[in-house]
Amino acid sequence: MKSATTEFIKEDREKMRDPEPCRIKHTEDTQEQTEFIEENEENEELSEVEEKNHVKTEEKHLSCSQTIQKDLKKRRAKKSFTCTQCGKSLTNKTNLEHHMRVHTGEKPFTNDKCGKCFTQSSTLKKHMKIHTGEKLYTCDQCSKTFLRASVLKKHLRVHTKEKPHSCDLCGKSFSLLHNLKVHQTIHTGVREYMCFECEKTFTTAKCLKQHQMIHTGEKPYKCSRCDKRFSVSTNLKTHERIHTGEKPYTCDQCEKSFTQSSTLKKHMKIRTGEKLYTCDQCSKTFLRASVLKSHQRVHTKEKPHSCDLCGKSFSLLLNLKV
């Protein structure tokens, strides 16, 4: 990207909004969708903006699901700038230019005291506070630092387990409003972001980007104990339980514990006598036959659904309709 583009890039990432989960309807909800939600600083800052501007609908005659659909549709209309590298949608050209630095590696914000460069003005501001001695807000649980006390307050919910935002449809609670909105796409069936390598769809650009590392072979997350690397941060966290011995998922019938919730669910099916569906190619197991059937097309490369206009084929009818 040419350096000239930085002249019109507005400052402060903290004012930017990540794109909401978008609009491809998916008929099969996967476990990964709910397990992929991570409570990081970006989500905390985004949640703060959302909570300040959140307006409850006055159309009380609409059902909860209709309200969610209407809200998502309204927000989608604001998305018109799409990244050609990862498919992420943004609300304006400035935010797109800002986002592209993730791919180009451009770091236009430089500290004139030490020469260190940053991709975001907010990161530079945080760095400058180290030089000036200004106050950073530090979490006393994990030592993570924040520019604003309000963001620290939301971050602390990770440690206190406070979850004030509840889903009206299923009752599941979340610490951040942003994560509740991502969760609600399970009920609406909205999954806008599609991987062009395998046609798998996701609710957020972040989930898509993490998934694409499977195809590129990129593994940026390294275990500090054994140097094993992972493409997804959640997989690293799960792996680290091998070293710590942590097994947070416990069967209430026999008190056997597991490192992953999916393993607990499969264990429960064995106890209840329910059937597990196993892929004969890679031995991966699934909770539903329909998911296994779709998965097997990864091995067979079968794409039975063809476009009458251009002839392009897809493994899922859903993706053809899109």
pLDDT, tens digit, 9 for 90 and up, residues 100-136? 887 787 888 888 888 888 888 888 887 887 777 776 7
pLDDT score at 98: 82
Amino acid at 55: V
Fold of 279-322: Double Stranded RNA Binding Domain (3.30.160)
| Residue of 114, 90, 116, 115 lying closest to 102 (CA atoms) | 90
Instruction: Tell me the pLDDT tens digit for each residue of 135-192.
Output: 678 888 888 888 788 888 888 888 888 889 999 988 888 888 888 888 887 787 777 7
Helix (H) or strand (E) holding 104: helix 93-104
Q: Would the CATH topology of 3-50+65-213 be identical to that of 279-322?
A: yes
> Which distant-in-sequence residues (6+ apart) come within 8 Å of 157 by Cβ?
39, 163, 164, 175, 176
State the fold for domain 3-50+65-213.
Answer: Double Stranded RNA Binding Domain (3.30.160)
Q: Is the pLDDT of residue 13 over 50?
A: no
- What integer pLDDT is reported at residue 65 of this predicted model? 55
Confidence (pTM): 0.37
With bands split at pLDDT 50, 70 and 90, how would you rate the model's confidence at 63? low
pLDDT(21) > 60: no
Tokens standing for 195? 């991987």
Confidence of residue 64 (pLDDT cuts 50, 70, 90): low
- The full set of domain ranges for the chain reads 3-50+65-213, 279-322
